[in-house]
Amino acid sequence: MNFNKNWIYVVGPCAAESKKQIFISAKKLKKHGVHIFRAGIWKPRTNSNAWQGIGDRAVEWLVEVKKKVGIKIATEVKDKRTLNLALKANFDLVWVGSRNGQNYAFLHEVGLMTKKTKTPVIVKRAMATSLNEWIGAAGYVARNNSNIILCERGIRGYAPDTRNILDLQGAYLAKINTKYPVIVDVSHAAGRRDLILPMSKAVKACGFNGLMVEVHPQPDLAKTDGFQQINFRKFSQLISALKKLK
Ligand code: PEP
Ligand code: MN
């Protein structure tokens, strides 16, 4: 898939919670034309006592989703061990999350470990980085694997109304100053459902390469990031609205 030419949707729940939840989600999302199914297996939580994700056993669940539903699978890798598991299981894409977005040693390792397969690596922007630092982070992966997608996911601001500030300006500069496709994670930028649709429209209108969106069968029951996840109905409305924007 040429990520620079096609509009990419990386969509799915914040976290894999059960086999049933990810199967239902992947099937629905595929029907809506989603190409890449996302689900966090190893969740990097702020609170060390919080639920840390299903862990290793969800790798097999996602592999089954890929085979049975016929959709590409992506997850967040947080260290060499989890990256190794994802690569062994033939994940189609992996991403480095915001919390590791300035972990240069790991970013370098990600490049090395994906050198042969050229697995696409989504490099999320660390939450308090400048454009230069974000592009620099991608550079560590690119030493060995330049199959990179940059993902803007909001930067820290002072207003408590949104989880982060969606920096479309910075993301646009990343797009025109690098050769990498740039996608935008509207869910982590907003931290709230009511902003997902309007911000997605803005992303499409600006000419970015795609969106990351968190979608859950029952967002209010989600184990993580419930406030920002949308249900299938809302996602279907988003797809229709974006189709109208050329
Ligand atoms: C995620 O995509 O699930 C996630 C944790 O995002 P971020 O690293 O951008 O906070
Ligand atoms: Mn999340």
Ligand nearest to the CA of 76: 1
The per-residue pLDDT for 74 is 99
Q: Residue whose CA is closest, atom 4 of ligand 1?
A: 97
The ligand minimizing its distance to the Cα of 38 is: 1
Which pair of tokens denotes residue 216?
A: 């859950």
Report every protein residue that has its C-beta within 5 angstroms of ion ligand 2. Answer: 14, 225
Whether 226 is covered by a domain: the verdict is yes
Asked if the structure places residue 3 within a domain, the reply is no
DSSP β-bridge partners for residue 123? 96, 150
Residue-wise over 102-113: b if at least 16 C-beta within 10 A, else e?
bbeebbebbbeb
Instruction: Give domain status of residue 2, yes or no.
Output: no
* Token pair belonging to 164: 């982060």
Contact in structure between 174 and 180 (CB atoms under 8 Å): yes
Does residue 93 sit within a domain? yes
Q: What is the number of structural domains in the chain?
A: 1
What's the CATH code of the domain at 238?
3.20.20.70
The residue whose CA is least distant from atom 6 of ligand 1 is: 97
pLDDT at position 183 is: 98
Task: Assess whether the C-beta atom of 124 lies below 6 angstroms from ligand 1.
Answer: yes
- Per-residue pLDDT at 197: 98
Give pTM, 2 decimals.
Answer: 0.98
**Ligand 2 centroid vs 214 CA: distance in angstroms?**
7
Cβ-count burial 5-38 (b if 16+ within 10 Å, e if not): eeebbbbbbbbbbebebbebbbebbbeeebbbbb
pLDDT at residue 6, rounded to an integer: 87
Please report whether residue 1 resides in a domain: no
Q: Is residue 56 one of the residues assigned to a domain?
A: yes
DSSP secondary structure of 44-94:
--SSTTS---S-THHHHHHHHHHHHH--EEEEE--SHHHHHHHHHTT-SEE
Q: Phi, psi (5° rounding) for residue 233?
A: -60, -45
Per-residue pLDDT of the chain (246 residues; tens, 9 = 90+): 888 888 999 999 999 999 999 999 999 999 999 999 999 999 999 999 999 999 999 999 999 999 999 999 999 999 999 999 999 999 999 999 999 999 999 999 999 999 999 999 999 999 999 999 999 999 999 999 999 999 999 999 999 999 999 999 999 999 999 999 999 999 999 999 999 999 999 999 999 999 999 999 999 999 999 999 999 999 999 999 999 997
Q: Return the best residue to mutate from 124, 184, 211 for the ligand 1 pocket (most ligand atoms within 8 A of CB).
A: 124
- Asked if residue 215 belongs to a domain, the reply is yes
Range(s) of the domain holding residue 64: 8-243
Measured from the alpha carbon of residue 103, the closest ligand is: 1
